[in-house]
């Protein structure tokens, strides 16, 4: 029987291994700073902050600025997964439309 870790499943939704580890940490802890994430995961601070910035772009975390502190909050797991699936479907449909449009142009040229 094959077992897949939670982090590996998150990687199927476009996160790197480091991002998946951080996302799992933030899901468990709630609102955290990049420093706290680095400390809890054992990832260097610079790598943690880079991963958090990428995760924000991918829609996995929100950034909150509380005074001078920048804290990260996880996008709820179900919402993150649904958003990733929706984006994949949109990308698939968009590329299909491009291929259909280019196909029509080719047919028009052939006539």
Q: Rounded mean pLDDT of 15-37?
A: 95
10, 26 contact by CB (below 8 A): no
Read off the CATH number of the domain in which 25 is found.
1.10.10.10
Distances (CA, A) of 48 to 31, 45, 69, 104: 15, 5, 16, 47
pTM: 0.77
* Structural domain of 83: 76-111
Same domain membership, residue 1 and residue 51: yes
| Collapsed DSSP state (helix, strand, coil) of residue 30 | coil
Instruction: Give the integer Cα–Cα distance in Å for 32 and 85.
Output: 26
Instruction: Give the integer Cα–Cα distance in Å for 49 and 54.
Output: 9
Q: Rounded mean pLDDT of 13-42?
A: 95
User: What percent of the chain has pLDDT above 70?
Assistant: 81
Q: Half-sphere exposure of 64 toward its Cβ, with a 13 Å CA cutoff?
A: 10
Same domain membership, residue 83 and residue 106: yes
* pLDDT, tens digit (0-9, with 9 covering 90-100), for 67-81: 999 999 999 999 999
How would residue 107 be classed by pLDDT, with cut points 50, 70 and 90? very low
């Amino acid at each position: 029987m094959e077992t897949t870790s939670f982090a590996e499943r998150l990687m199927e939704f476009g996160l790197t291994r480091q991002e998946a580890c951080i996302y799992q940490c933030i899901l468990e802890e709630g609102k955290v700073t990049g420093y706290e994430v680095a400390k809890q995961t054992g990832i260097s601070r610079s790598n943690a902050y880079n991963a958090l910035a990428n995760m924000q772009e991918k829609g996995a975390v929100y950034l909150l600025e509380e005074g001078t502190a920048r804290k990260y909050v996880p996008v709820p797991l179900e919402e993150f997964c649904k958003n990733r699936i929706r984006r994949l479907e949109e990308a698939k449909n968009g590329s299909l439309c491009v291929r259909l449009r280019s196909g029509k142009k080719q047919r028009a040229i052939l006539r």
